[in-house]
């Protein structure tokens, strides 16, 4: 009885698990908010009244010439910063890496990398 039991327990150890270790880890899936951001469309209406109460419209002075010149609409920092605490989702899963490649490592780089360093998924 014991010899058969030892043989049986040895069989699972003999399985070749190499394919499992060589497959790439599935990338993290984007959240529902990020999915909706990717499928969003640009607003064609430049009406000042489309913003909810408490949200100021973009600075009209920045866009006075947009209609004449056919250039893209511009948003001032004050307008954009109103949404800072409303929509906190990153625009893409690689956003931190893209920002780092554009502006380089700053004082915050150590903090931005922390969630990515301890990747024990493969072990």
Burial of 112 (0-12, 13-18, 19+ CB in 10 A): middle
**What pLDDT score does 8 carry?**
53
Is 3's pLDDT higher than 70? no
Domain residue extents for the chain: 32-85, 86-116
Is 55's pLDDT higher than 60? yes
- pTM over cut 0.85: no
Question: pLDDT tens digits, residue range 13-30?
Answer: 665 666 655 556 777 777
């Amino acid at each position: 009885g014991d010899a058969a039991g030892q043989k049986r327990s040895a069989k699972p150890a003999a399985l070749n698990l190499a394919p499992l270790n060589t497959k790439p880890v599935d990338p993290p899936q984007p959240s529902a908010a990020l999915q909706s951001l990717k499928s969003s469309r640009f607003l064609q209406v430049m009406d000042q009244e489309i913003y909810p109460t408490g949200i100021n419209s973009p600075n009209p002075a920045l866009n006075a010439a947009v209609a004449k010149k056919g250039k893209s609409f511009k948003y001032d920092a004050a307008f954009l910063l109103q949404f800072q605490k409303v929509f906190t989702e990153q625009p893409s899963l690689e956003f931190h890496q893209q920002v780092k490649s554009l502006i380089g490592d700053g004082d915050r780089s150590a903090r931005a990398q922390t969630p990515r360093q301890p990747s024990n998924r493969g072990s």
